[in-house]
């Protein structure tokens, strides 16, 4: 019986440096979580300035992801209709979801059907925001920044995150007013 009991050179090299790699991973997670918590606190404060109700803040430490759930006009409108919907902002730093160095976007629980793309004037919203609107399943996303690891610039990322609540307010008012007219 012949079996291959060998390891590749990459696997052997990984094992040789396993302790160092795990220590570096722990250091990255600690620093990343500290930064995400600081940015989350700034976002929550800015949300209040834009009359956005902060529902919850959740840090996903294992993947480097922070969600700040907020509610304003769109969520209130859908609640009046008896529909529970959510909206908010998300930040990722050094996420192990691929090659993301830093990413910031906001989102709405809103399925973008062909009819809604027209009714809600999504092209006009993209123009007003200067950003692409993405429909994925039951969610509408607006990504404001996505820096690959190779050009990670946290000070620039922080400046972008400061604009999230204002950009969100623009989109929220836009969507709520057009959604209300569509019924």
Q: What angle do CA 106, 107, 113 make, to 5 degrees?
A: 140
In eight-state DSSP terms, residue 149 is G
Delimit the domains of the chain by residue range: 9-182
Give the span between the Cα atoms of 124 and 130, in whole angstroms: 10
DSSP H or E segment with residue 113: none
Give the span between the Cα atoms of 38 and 30, in whole angstroms: 12
**pTM for the model:** 0.84
DSSP H or E segment with residue 45: helix 18-49
Res 99: pLDDT: 66
Res 145: pLDDT: 87
pLDDT in tens, the chain (183 residues): 667 889 999 999 999 999 999 999 899 899 999 999 999 999 999 999 999 999 999 999 988 899 999 999 999 999 999 999 999 999 999 876 666 789 999 999 999 889 899 999 999 999 999 999 999 999 999 998 888 888 889 898 998 888 899 999 999 999 999 988 875
Which residues face 147 on adjacent strands? Answer: 102
């Amino acid at each position: 019986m012949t079996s291959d009991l060998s390891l590749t050179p990459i696997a052997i090299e990984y094992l040789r440096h396993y302790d160092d790699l795990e220590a570096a991973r722990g250091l990255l997670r600690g620093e990343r979580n500290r930064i995400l918590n600081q940015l989350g606190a700034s976002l929550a404060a800015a949300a209040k300035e834009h009359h956005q109700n902060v529902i919850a803040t959740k840090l996903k430490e294992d993947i480097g992801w922070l969600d700040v759930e907020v509610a304003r006009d769109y969520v209130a409108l859908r609640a009046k209709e008896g529909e529970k919907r959510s909206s908010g902002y998300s930040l990722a730093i050094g996420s192990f979801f691929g090659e993301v160095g830093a990413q910031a976007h906001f989102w709405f629980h809103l399925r973008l059907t062909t009819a809604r793309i027209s009714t809600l004037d999504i092209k006009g919203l993209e123009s007003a925001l200067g950003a692409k609107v993405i429909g994925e399943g039951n969610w509408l996303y607006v990504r404001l920044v996505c820096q690959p690891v190779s050009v990670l610039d946290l000070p620039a990322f922080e400046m972008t995150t400061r604009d999230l609540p204002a950009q969100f307010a623009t989109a929220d008012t836009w969507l709520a007013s057009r959604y209300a007219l569509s019924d």
